[in-house]
Structure formats: C-alpha cells, structure tokens
Amino acid sequence: MGARPTSSGQEIVPLTAWRGVAALLVFVLHQRGIYGDTWPLDAWTPFFARGYLWVDFFFVLSGFVLALVYSDSLLRQFLWVSYAEFLKRRLRRIYPLHVATLLAVTPLVFAQHFVGGTKDTAQSLAWTFLSNLSPTHAWGLFDRLSWNRPSWSISAEWAAYLLFPVVAWVVVRAKPTAAFIAVCLALAGLFMLVLQMPERSLSLTFDFGVVRCLVGLALGVGVYRIYKFLKQGRPNSVIGSDLSCGLAIAAVVAGIHGLEYEVALLPLFGWLTLAFALNAGAA
C-alpha cells in the first residue's frame, strides 16, 4: 500500500522502515479475531485498537513520496503522455496484487453466500465484484465493504492517483501561504465530515475512503514542500535531528492513546515523515 519511499533511485531507508512498522500494525489489527480472546490487546491499550489510523500514515507517506518522485516531471509541463505514464506505473504497482487477493477470496465469498452467511443476491455480488475489480469500491458506490475488505485503501489510493496532478499543482505550485491554507482547509473539511459520523472515527472506508485518502495525500505533498525547502536551504535542520525524531514518535504514540479527534493525528504523521526523511543521525 502506498508508494515506496525512493528518491532518484535511492531509497530513503527510515521511511521504508516506518512503512514496514505501519504495515505490521495494520496487519495486527486485522487479526483480532484470532488473537483477541487469548491476548486482548485492545483492552490493554488503544494503541492496537486504533491500528486503522496507520492507514492514514500510509496516505501521508504516499503523498510525500509521489511528490518527491513525480511532482517536478508532472508539473514542469503537464502532458497527457506523462500523466498516462504516471498512472501506468502506479497501476502496475498496486493492481496485480489487488487482483490476486481478490481472486484468492472469491471461493470464500461464494462459499459464504451459498451457505446463507450473507444477504447478498447474485446481482449484488456481481456488481460488488466488478467494483472491486475496477477498483472503485471505496468511491461511495455501496453501503458496505465487500470481497477483499481491506482493499478499500487500494481503491482510495487509485482515486488519489487520478487526482494527484491537481493536488500537487495546488500544494506545490501555489504560494506558501496559499498552500498552507489549502491543506488546513482540507484537514478542516475532513474534521467536519468525521463529526457527522456516528462514532466520530476516522475509520472511513467504503463511504468516504477517497476523501480520507485525498486529505492525507495533500498533507503529504505539503510535507514534501517543506522537506524540499529545508534540504535546499538548511540541510542541518533541527526538524531532522534525533531529538525531533524521538519527539515525533512520542507525539504519535501519545496521540493514538489520547486524542479524542483523530484527524489531529494527521499533522503528527506529517511531522514523523518529515523528521525521518531529513534525519542523518542515529534515528
């Protein structure tokens, strides 16, 4: 999930490490049905119960890496050829595994259907399958998750890839003040949306997963713009110090435990991404 953190062919190792940590935490969240009775991690700490928030870290990281790798080439002179090549590369990265996992769960879905474990009709199964195959199943087309349920994030990222040049144009090309206001407005809009949800949770998937992803993507692009400025003008920035990295980790962990409004965690993920992208020390 998300773009791999590379710059000019050279990997940003700390971000790749965080990508692995986040993936593992999301994986643990999805195994609650297996370990929940023996090791009730959710009851011990909200850190694991809120593991879905690490998906938002992926969205922020994707925005940062996509801007790092593609923004200059896409924005220097926008051409449909370059845009098509960008989409082809992104689709090649996410789609084969998505199709493989979709086909892997197909026998399980049919088995559940035929034993009466769902209320889906043959027609609804066909439509949701085609939507998953598209992948457009997190675009608010249905009222529930279906088939390979965690793959909603792939659908949301695909929508974000389609709109990435627009987001990059606004956040990268605009004046700093305008770009800052745009990102703040996006976060505020997501916050207002979350307030309308029954549980006021950031766990938006099949309904508003695209909005959730786009806001994280925009924030990640904004983080890239700060990163680029600091790399050019202040290579020894305190933001990339070991202390800053440690404080970013502490802030994210504390935020997962204590923040009532989960949208406030997104800027902390931005700080975490920026600090480790700039770090050249022990961290």
1 occurs within a structural domain: no
Q: What is the pTM assigned to this prediction?
A: 0.84
- Nearest Cα residue to 59 out of 266, 231, 206: 266
259 occurs within a structural domain: yes
The dihedrals phi and psi of 7, each to the nearest 5 degrees, come to -135, 115
Residue that is written with structure tokens 């370059």 in the block: 82
263 occurs within a structural domain: yes
Rounded to whole angstroms, the Cα distance separating 69 from 12 reads: 12
Which amino acid is it at 276?
F
283 occurs within a structural domain: no
Mean pLDDT of 262-281: 90
pLDDT at position 8: 45
Rounded to whole angstroms, the Cα distance separating 160 from 166 reads: 10
Question: Does residue 1 have a pLDDT over 60?
Answer: no
Structural domains in the chain (count)? 1
244 occurs within a structural domain: yes
CB environment 52-83: b (16+ within 10 A), e (fewer): bbbbbbbbbbbbbbbbbbbbeebeeeeeeebe
- Nearest Cα residue to 186 out of 163, 142, 158, 216: 216
Question: Does residue 168 have a pLDDT over 50?
Answer: yes
- Nearest Cα residue to 134 out of 86, 83, 91, 90: 91
The dihedrals phi and psi of 200, each to the nearest 5 degrees, come to 50, 40
Mean pLDDT of 11-36: 78
pLDDT at position 282: 77
pLDDT band at 240 (very low <50, low <70, confident <90, very high): confident
Q: Containing H/E element for 47?
A: helix 46-49
Where is pLDDT greater, at 22 or 233?
22
58 occurs within a structural domain: yes
pLDDT at position 40: 67
41 vs 52, 180, 249, 255, 259, CA distance in Å? 14, 38, 20, 18, 19
Q: How many CB atoms lie under 10 A from the CB of residue 266? A: 27
Mean pLDDT of 227-252: 83
Percentage of the chain modeled with pLDDT above 90: 19
Rounded to whole angstroms, the Cα distance separating 39 from 110 reads: 31
200 occurs within a structural domain: yes
Question: Does residue 75 have a pLDDT over 60?
Answer: yes
Q: Which domain holds residue 13?
A: 6-278
Residue that is written with structure tokens 């956040």 in the block: 171
